[in-house]
Structure 1
Amino acid sequence: MKPIPKPIHDYVWQRDGGRCRFCGLEGEHVHHIYSRYSQIPAHLKIQETINNNHPDNLILLCSKHHFRVHNGNIVYDKVKEIEISRQRAKLVKTTTKLIECLIKNKSKLAK
């Protein structure tokens, strides 16, 4: 499994202010809202990227909440988290490296 590309990882970290989206403590893990291999619903209009690594589909979590999400102990509203990502993105500068990375990682299936 390939890691999330660094420009995307760094952007999500900055967008979420280095804090866990659930508790506000220091973030440690960038987590996929819709998993790397699942289909993101078309109505959300997220550009298809390799392994679903689009920033709108990623959130920063502390290790405790990341573990709880993966164990099914936390169920959250995925659409709401994507909307929060989009709102926060309006406050963060998009870098050239991020744009280039998104173009490079655009899914070959997306046409």
Structure 2
Amino acid sequence: VAIVDFDVHHGNGTEATVRNLKPRDAGRREAQDISMGGFSARIVAEPPPTCKPWLDPESDPESVFFASIHGYGGGFYPGTGASCSQSAPRIINVALRPDASSHDFREGLRTQILPDLQ
């Protein structure tokens, strides 16, 4: 699956979805012992799963590609999406300056996103 978001705003919602294809630590378990009327029990609260795979949590991170090329800096909503490139899941953000030209856009797409789509 390849998702390429190209507009003035960072694709932060889609990026969050892609990031959650891979399990990660959701926090700590909480346990409490209780006693009542001669009976005792242990109540354990587990954090909800953070992994929301599409097909298979083992292979999804290697099978999904997300890239966003967008305006970044003062005045651009939502203010997220600094340039980055990471793997498993494959996420590329190309942050363009407020004064970026159409040439800058094409160059970012050509040099930072398209090579990874092949």
Question: Considering the TM-score relative to the shorter chain, is it more than 0.5?
Answer: no
Larger radius of gyration: 2
Q: More helix by proportion, 1 or 2?
A: 1
Please, what TM-score do these two structures have when normalized by structure 1?
A: 0.25
Q: More strand by proportion, 1 or 2?
A: 2
Ranked by relative contact order (alpha carbons within 8 Å, sequence separation 6 or more), the top structure is: 1
Please, what TM-score do these two structures have when normalized by structure 2?
A: 0.23
